Structure 1
Amino acid sequence: MALINSIPLLTLSVLGYFIPTCCFLPSKLTLKQKAGFFCILLVNLFFMMHGLGNAGVVFLLLSSCIYFALIFKNRLLNICAFIAIYLFCVLCDHVFSLFWNTLISSFSNFQTFTMDYFLYVLLYVILMAIICPPLGKLTHRFTIKIIFGIPKQVLALITANLLVCLFIFLFNIIVGQYIGYSDKIITFNCILFGCYCIISTVLIVNLLKTHMAKMELDMRQESYKRLQEYTDQVEEMYSSLRSFKHDYRNIMLSMSGYIEAEDIKGLRTYFHNEILPQSQSLSKNTAQLNQLMNLKVTELKSIVSSKLLYAIELHIAVTIEMTEEISEISVDALDLSRVLGIFLDNAIETALETEHPSIRFAAISLDTEYLFIISNTYIDHGLSLASLRQPLISSKGTTRGIGLYNAQKILSKYPGVLWNTAKDETSFTQQLNIAK
């Protein structure tokens, strides 16, 4: 009978961990994964309530971490997040206990499986269900920009801090069960846990802010590098043009020799073998740059030109469509450069897999919006369009697949930008509609 009566309390206890985990975990759990995690919590909390006590927390943490390591590719990140979520739950539980002590009744008089204890757990779960969803969204907004680019050194420092914090929490929880949770112990634990959490949070936030600043600096240096490459390419084209003009007189003189000798066959051979290849090489690259003259945003021009000229060097057929001037865009130039850079990198890699690689880049100015279109030949690997925007999902290997995910997070900051992805049997297209 006691076992049956404990089922509602057990279910509520499971929800006390389940709700925060689903809200705060960096990787989204599928319905099947949620069911598996719920069962793990159910089994562990059952044994904790019927024999193991708070010492069973060790098994709960181990089994949950192993489960997340098995279902997620970014294992360490999600394990660290789960440990942080558990510490958050412990802190909330102690703070709630302190308020309960002060406003309702002494927590030290509680007995397990009583109505008072059931009411306490019920109110705690309701509180978690109210505060966790908005807090989870807030946390994701802060961390999503950097979460998949955290260096190993920073992640190691965060992991070490969480493990030390976890050890302190577990020690206090397990010892507290044996000596009893008096009002003074609950107050002391609240102060200890609160101070440590505040200090840890400040340290971690500062680490992440430093990392974000470094990422921003690296991106600006990359943008400058692309601009320098573009400048070098323009200078190279100009030098080629000067060289061609300088040789023009000599070319005419050499052709006049064939004409005076009325050697039409020799002239034709000389023209096709010597003159035409130089002319085509010069005009081809110059034509590509001429198309980009209408793009007046320097950061965009540098990244687009360098990527497309790199594609030409790889013998990819490149088509550029840009007939009207584009000078001001409502999206931050650095953000748009990053997104277009990601699209073009993917287009180049994907096009090279095909027998006749080609890329089309179009920038079109309409009355109310700008259109940026990047289309390329590709081989269909059977991945859905929706899955391509998920982290670590790619046709290029298990360690790839961050690019489009990062692009989605960048574009999510701009409500005036619409991103469409389409594909048919031979071409893959990315299109950005940017409101003026």
Structure 2
Amino acid sequence: MVTIIGSFVQIATLCLNNFFFVNGFDHAKERFYFVLILSCLAPVLFVYIGIIGIVIPVLLLIYSNYRYKKDPIVSITAPFFAVIILVISDHLSFLANSFLFDISVEMVNAQLSYYGLHLLFFLLFSVLLSFITHMVIRKLKQFVPVFKHYFLFLMSLTVLTVSFFYINILVSDRSGFSSEIVQFNSFIFLAYFALFITILGLLLFSVIKEMKVKNKQEEYKQLRMYSENLEEMYGELQKFRHDYINILSSMSEYIRTKDMEGLETYFNEKVMPTGQGIKKNHYKLGALQNVKVTEVKGTLVSKLIKAQDLGIDIALEATEPVHQINMDYIRLCRCLGIILDNAIEEAEQFDGSSIHIAFIQKENSLLIVVANTIGGEIPKLYKVFQQGYSTKGENRGLGLSNLKEIVSKCENVTLETKITGKMFFQELEIAD
């Protein structure tokens, strides 16, 4: 009876911890049946296979995680972390019973009431460790792209830890689980677990340091781009100044000869189009003065000039000053870069295309809207964020899938994509 109840509770706890780590309760009904069936099969696994029977639930959890998350790092590490918590909680429960109530392992295995107390401590330790682990995972989410470089090391360390635990448990099982052996194993496991956490901490420190260096490099790149664009705009201003003097000089001969008809024709055909072009470009770039975030302004300037050089009608609207945005500026610049590059790439293929950018300050958030005309095939919304999908040919379509991944790591940022007629809208809302 103790084996049946214990294996049922432990496998159910293992599954729930795993789903908790991967935020996998969105398919609640299916998950419930998965946990129920696997927990009911647990007694059979442990009776006929023994402790090694834990391998089958772990493999099934890895499959289930990858089926919904499509993330190999999370899919593999979550079940192993759940196993580590399972073993640590089980041994902490034995220690608690021993030190608080002087209940030995033999008494726990012999009497159902003592075993019930053991399971109560086991569940308490499991919940506590799971919440701590979940909080750490949430903090580490922003470093997932960098952690991919350390995936093999992280996976090897986790598998080595679980293997060490279960080899020790198997040896102890053959020697007989006495109170002395369990206590000794508990101290060894806790010491090894502390070493495991220390190594992870050092890895995290290395990752954070690497991220800071990359962020500084990206920030420098954005500032350099902004400076280059300012220099380009200054050069354009100098050329206009020179052209303006030449235009005035060319008009002087008409004035000297009092040729008003010729002056009117020259003014309407030569001077006015130049003035309209200057006025038009000033309108497009003038609203940038309200965007006070240097990194974002640099990205916008580079994309606006690129669009204008391609002859695309582009307009920016920011009626209120934007002094601060509650989002990591590197991530925001990546998002804006992807959205605007896609808009420009679409707009340059067709004549008469346009792009509109708006910064709208709402009560508790900032809404950034980018709208561009669609000239050809209207994309299917449920496909646009799939990696590799593109209406422009092969080896494309990576930008929007990356955009979705970046936004998913920011809890206060939402992205809404919609198509109205021949206009494609990307709305990025950032809560204060």
1:339 matched to 2:358: no
Q: What is the CA distance between 1:26 and its match in structure 2?
A: 6.0
Q: What is the CA distance between 1:342 and its match in structure 2?
A: 0.8
Partner letter of residue 17 of structure 2?
A: P
Counterpart CA distance in 2 for 1:99 and 1:370 is: 49
Corresponding residue number in structure 1 for 2:393: none
1:61 matched to 2:54: no
Corresponding residue number in structure 1 for 2:9: 12
Question: Deviations along 1:214-259, whole A, 9 cap, x unmatched?
Answer: 2233223222222221221121122122123223444455677899
Q: 1:193 to 1:30 in 2, by over 3 A?
A: same
Q: Which runs of 5+ in 2 are unaligned?
A: 391-396
1:73 matched to 2:73: no
Identical aligned residues as a percent:
23
Corresponding residue number in structure 2 for 1:415: none
Q: TM-score, normalised by structure 2?
A: 0.78
Partner letter of residue 48 of structure 1?
A: L
Q: What is the CA distance between 1:68 and its match in structure 2?
A: 3.3
- 2:368 is matched with which residue: 363, 370, 373? 373
Q: 1:43 to 1:115 in 2, by over 3 A?
A: closer
Corresponding residue number in structure 2 for 1:360: 356
Corresponding residue number in structure 2 for 1:206: 202
Corresponding residue number in structure 1 for 2:104: 106
Deviates more, 1:314-323 or 1:128-137: 128-137
Alignment of 1:254-273 (within 5 A): none
Corresponding residue number in structure 1 for 2:382: 383
1:95 matched to 2:92: yes
Q: TM-score, normalised by structure 1?
A: 0.78
Partner letter of residue 345 of structure 1?
A: I
Preserved contact between residue 68 and residue 78 of structure 1 (Cα < 8 Å): yes
Q: What is the CA distance between 1:349 and its match in structure 2?
A: 1.4
- 2:82 is matched with which residue: 55, 61, 85? 85
Partner letter of residue 423 of structure 1?
A: K
Question: Deviations along 1:329-350, whole A, 9 cap, x unmatched?
Answer: 3x45x72563254145224415
Q: 1:398 to 1:300 in 2, by over 3 A?
A: closer
Structure of greater relative contact order (alpha carbons < 8 Å, 6+ residues apart): 1
Counterpart CA distance in 2 for 1:151 and 1:8 is: 38
SS of the aligned residue for 1:382 comes to coil
1:423 matched to 2:423: no
SS of the aligned residue for 1:150 comes to helix
Preserved contact between residue 108 and residue 115 of structure 2 (Cα < 8 Å): no
Deviates more, 1:239-248 or 1:36-45: 36-45
Preserved contact between residue 419 and residue 431 of structure 1 (Cα < 8 Å): yes
Deviates more, 1:251-260 or 1:297-306: 251-260
Partner letter of residue 371 of structure 2?
A: N
Deviates more, 1:299-308 or 1:237-246: 299-308
Preserved contact between residue 26 and residue 81 of structure 1 (Cα < 8 Å): no
Q: 1:343 to 1:156 in 2, by over 3 A?
A: same
Corresponding residue number in structure 2 for 1:232: 228
Preserved contact between residue 107 and residue 114 of structure 2 (Cα < 8 Å): no
Alignment of 1:171-186 (within 5 A): 171-186=167-182
Corresponding residue number in structure 2 for 1:306: 302
Counterpart CA distance in 2 for 1:225 and 1:124 is: 54
SS of the aligned residue for 2:381 comes to coil
Question: Deviations along 1:60-102, whole A, 9 cap, x unmatched?
Answer: 3334334434443112332022212211211111111122233
Question: Deviations along 1:133-154, whole A, 9 cap, x unmatched?
Answer: 633542233112212x134432
RMSD, matched Cα: 4.1
1:22 matched to 2:19: yes
Q: Which runs of 5+ in 1 are unaligned?
A: 413-417
Q: What is the CA distance between 1:316 and its match in structure 2?
A: 4.2
Partner letter of residue 381 of structure 1?
A: K
Counterpart CA distance in 1 for 2:313 and 2:165 is: 61
Counterpart CA distance in 2 for 1:311 and 1:209 is: 41
Q: 1:226 to 1:15 in 2, by over 3 A?
A: same
Preserved contact between residue 16 and residue 128 of structure 1 (Cα < 8 Å): no
Aligned residues: 415
Preserved contact between residue 366 and residue 430 of structure 2 (Cα < 8 Å): yes
Q: 1:325 to 1:150 in 2, by over 3 A?
A: closer
Counterpart CA distance in 2 for 1:137 and 1:231 is: 43
SS of the aligned residue for 2:382 comes to coil
Corresponding residue number in structure 2 for 1:162: 158
Q: 1:411 to 1:202 in 2, by over 3 A?
A: same
Question: Deviations along 1:266-298, whole A, 9 cap, x unmatched?
Answer: x979986x8778766655544433221233332
Preserved contact between residue 351 and residue 357 of structure 1 (Cα < 8 Å): no
Q: What is the CA distance between 1:159 and its match in structure 2?
A: 1.4
Counterpart CA distance in 1 for 2:88 and 2:122 is: 14
Preserved contact between residue 89 and residue 126 of structure 2 (Cα < 8 Å): no
Deviates more, 1:36-45 or 1:98-107: 36-45
Corresponding residue number in structure 2 for 1:196: 192
Corresponding residue number in structure 1 for 2:394: none
Preserved contact between residue 414 and residue 430 of structure 2 (Cα < 8 Å): yes
SS of the aligned residue for 1:374 comes to strand
Preserved contact between residue 100 and residue 106 of structure 1 (Cα < 8 Å): yes
Preserved contact between residue 9 and residue 121 of structure 1 (Cα < 8 Å): no
Q: What is the CA distance between 1:176 and its match in structure 2?
A: 1.7
Preserved contact between residue 303 and residue 340 of structure 2 (Cα < 8 Å): no
Counterpart CA distance in 2 for 1:312 and 1:82 is: 52
1:216 matched to 2:215: no
Question: Deviations along 1:396-427, whole A, 9 cap, x unmatched?
Answer: 65896343443354453xxxxx8574635234
Deviates more, 1:100-109 or 1:6-15: 6-15
Partner letter of residue 303 of structure 1?
A: T
Counterpart CA distance in 2 for 1:238 and 1:79 is: 54
Q: What is the CA distance between 1:188 and its match in structure 2?
A: 1.8
Counterpart CA distance in 1 for 2:28 and 2:399 is: 25
Counterpart CA distance in 2 for 1:430 and 1:400 is: 13
Counterpart CA distance in 2 for 1:171 and 1:19 is: 24
Counterpart CA distance in 1 for 2:364 and 2:3 is: 61
- 1:135 is matched with which residue: 120, 123, 132? 132
